[in-house]
Amino acid sequence: MPETWQTFYLMVGSSSAGLIGLLFVVMTLTSEVEPSRAMLGSRVYITPTVYHFAVLVLIGAVAVMPDVPAQIMAAVIVVPAATGFVVALVSLTRMLRGLPRAADASDFFFYAILPAVAYLWLIGSAAALWSGVAFAAFAIAGGAVALLLVGIRDAWDLATWLARHRQG
């Protein structure tokens, strides 16, 4: 990535890393949720959200490295984005099968559909970067911000749901 993007990726990557830490705090709330329900919920809701943030940390880390060729950056984006797309589809499949039952219709959108679209966007943006398309840096930034905002929303949703459903 050009040097002019380093501040952006430093901000997105470090924000994502901080949010991963906060999700570990949220996980402590699951200790008061029935264990089998917490385990199912974590596979569909918590693990994918941590994955979204981890992808952004990886992209941010590589983007601030000096002199990374566009093809390496594209590969660093496309591999975790393709995996993230599969993660989103698995979450959608689990929600559709009722494992666990989605809290409301917005969960399908925010935990599965929107992340799948963001990952497809990142895959397309990585292909544009590989090909040397001028707007690729802006497209990657848009995909990263979309994934960050989805992750923030999902982390907030998890925290509020867990706070409401604690035993005791």
> In this predicted model, what pLDDT tens digit does every residue of 75-91 receive, in sequence order?
999 999 999 999 999 98
Q: What pLDDT does residue 124 have? A: 98
Q: What pLDDT does residue 1 have? A: 63
- Residues near 45 by beta carbon (within 8 Å), at least 6 away in sequence: 91, 107, 111, 154, 157, 158
Query: In terms of Cα–Cα distance, which of 148, 163, 139, 120 is closest to 51?
Result: 148
**C-alpha–C-alpha distance, residues 143 and 95, integer Å:** 24
**C-alpha–C-alpha distance, residues 66 and 46, integer Å:** 33
Three-state DSSP class for 48? helix
Q: What pLDDT does residue 147 have? A: 96
Q: What pLDDT does residue 35 have? A: 66
Running DSSP on this structure, what letter comes out for residue 103? S
Q: What pLDDT does residue 82 have? A: 98
**C-alpha–C-alpha distance, residues 112 and 47, integer Å:** 12
Q: What pLDDT does residue 70 have? A: 92
Q: What pLDDT does residue 165 have? A: 62
Q: What pLDDT does residue 161 have? A: 74
Residues of the chain with pLDDT below 70 are 1-2, 29-41, 99-103, 165-168
Q: What pLDDT does residue 61 have? A: 93
If 0-12 CB within 10 Å is exposed, 13-18 middle and 19+ buried, where does residue 35 land? exposed
Q: What pLDDT does residue 40 have? A: 63
Q: What pLDDT does residue 4 have? A: 82
CB 102 within 8 A of CB 67: no
Q: What pLDDT does residue 36 have? A: 64
